[in-house]
Amino acid sequence: MAEDKEKNVKNDPGLATIDKIISLCKRRGFIFPGSEIYGGFANSWDYGPVGVELKNNIKQLWWKRFVKQRDDIVGIDAALIMNPKVWEASGHVATFSDPLVECKKCHGRFRADQLDGVCPNCGGKDFGEPKQFNLMFRTFIGPAEDQANVAYFRPETAQAMFVDFKNVLQTTRKKLPFGIAQIGKAFRNEITPGNFIFRTREFEQMEIEYFIPKPARDEDWRSFFDKWVEEMYGWMEMVGIDTGKVSKLEVPEDELAHYSKRTIDFEFEFPFGVKELYGLAYRTDFDLKNHYKEAPYKEDEEGDAFWPHVIEPTWGVDRTVLAVLASAYKEEGDRIVLKLNPKVAPYKVAVFPLLKNKPELVEKARGIYNDLKKDFMTAWDDRGNVGKRYYAQDEIGTPFCITVDFDSLTDERVTVRDRDTMEQERIDIADLKSWLNKKLNK
Ligand code: ATP
């Protein structure tokens, strides 16, 4: 199945391959291999100066769209290491595992469900019996490393929304339907991480637990579910993910997680194949029932208490970054350009003095740069020639570049070059901010 899908990836020479994306990320400062001077470490990756801007912009856009601009969703930011009883109640201690097999020839360990019978290390075909391997990272609280002090790094952000449900309810007085959102790190001891930032052991999630009344009929939860499908598409369009490369996979009943009655995986045509980008699940009242002995919610004082049901849309931050990069990456002739949505672009604008060794140009350009910096993430570049600077800013995805030339000194105008059309316009320096605001907020 996976193999067939990988063959479906279009054979387009200008298309982003994962190697091209990794190389661009490294040379421009989006993403570096983690602990590189020590030979890297366990498929970890570090976001560099422009990568962190891109990632933060994505997270802030998400928070704005789903928390700040909605009346029915509130946010939390919970501890990464929670009481281990949380993970017992949620079922993670018992069932959050993948089947692991060992190659008898090279002793390499792999996920049994991702193998096609041949060892990717040595080509061996003889494997031991599969064992269930729990993906949670264990640690110890305090100085004594014994069983009584075992704790886990959270493998998902979701459980905190259930555990904090009552506190949120009491402090916000929200009525169903309402949601709790969180963005944060999650940790999974993946057996075979890989494909750049697609699967790592430490990653970030943006999750919402959306609480709904106990459904009397199937349509009652299905209508919320369908709305979230639309919301997720709306998000992908806004952030700049090519939705032409997104497909929905209805997870078959016999493959559903233990808590789920329906799950859709939103799959994206990544450069290395069609794989899960986001998920949407109807979790019934499984979670709140497990965490709260007594039903935690009443519609009003007279009503009966009950356990709300949950629709859970979940987004991986790093997979979003990768899908955004893959969607934005274009090769046009000999130029490489990231056609990022300006809202997520690390820099909104760059300022150049035409020549570095002309103090009057540098001073004028510096003045514009310092002024724009107050309102926009602004880059400064005075290296090489203007062509080289355009080349660099295109690779970072900066929507506009401003050049200060000799005419600027007398006519108070500058040349603004558009990343996507490469067209140039002369703009009054006094109008720059309003011009940029209009263009960036389209
Ligand atoms: P997969 O099947 O790829 O292992 P999953 O179904 O286990 O993913 P969920 O538990 O639904 O993933 O997690 C929600 C989201 O978190 C995923 O849709 C994905 O975007 C992200 N995610 C999960 N595992 C990882 C990982 N190891 N590295 C990066 N992102 C991840």
| Residue 2: per-residue pLDDT | 39
Residues 326, 210: Cα–Cα separation, whole Å: 30
Q: List, for residues 124-162, the tens digit of each pLDDT value.
A: 999 999 999 999 999 999 998 888 899 999 999 999 999
- From 113-122, 351-360, 398-407, 420-429, the region with the lowest mean pLDDT: 113-122
Q: List, for residues 5-49, the tens digit of each pLDDT value.
A: 443 444 555 678 999 999 999 999 999 999 999 999 999 999 999
Around ligand 1, the residues with Cβ closer than 6 Å are 156, 188, 190, 199-200, 203, 205, 276-279, 314, 316, 318-319
Q: List, for residues 291-321, the tens digit of each pLDDT value.
A: 999 999 999 889 999 999 999 999 999 999 9
| Of residues 280, 220, 273, the one with CA closest to residue 250 | 280
Average pLDDT over the chain reads 94
Q: Whose CA is nearest to atom 25 of ligand 1?
A: 199
Residues 178, 185: Cα–Cα separation, whole Å: 23
Instruction: Check pLDDT > 90 for residue 4.
Output: no
What architecture (CATH level 2) is domain 18-82+156-327?
A: 2-Layer Sandwich (3.30)
Q: Which of 205, 287, 322 to mutate to test the pocket of ligand 1 (most atoms within 8 A of CB)?
A: 205
Give me the mean pLDDT over the 313-334 stretch.
97
Confidence of residue 1 (pLDDT cuts 50, 70, 90): very low
User: Of all atoms in ligand 1, which is nearest to the CA of residue 205?
Assistant: 16
Residue type, 239: V
| Residue 258: per-residue pLDDT | 82
- Output 172-177 pairs: Cβ under 8 A, ≥24 positions apart: 172/74, 174/72, 174/74, 175/299, 176/211, 176/212, 176/213, 176/297, 176/299, 176/308, 177/72, 177/210, 177/211, 177/212, 177/213, 177/224
| CA of 277 relative to ligand 1 center, distance in Å | 8
Q: Whose CA is nearest to atom 23 of ligand 1?
A: 316
CATH tag for 347-440 (out of 3.40.50.2000, 3.30.70.890, 3.40.50.800, 3.40.50.300):
3.40.50.800
| Residue 313: per-residue pLDDT | 98
* Domain ranges, ordered by start, for the chain: 18-82+156-327, 347-440
Q: List, for residues 161-174, the tens digit of each pLDDT value.
A: 999 999 999 999 99
| CA of 320 relative to ligand 1 center, distance in Å | 11
| CA of 316 relative to ligand 1 center, distance in Å | 7
Confidence of residue 257 (pLDDT cuts 50, 70, 90): confident
Give me the mean pLDDT over the 394-423 stretch.
98
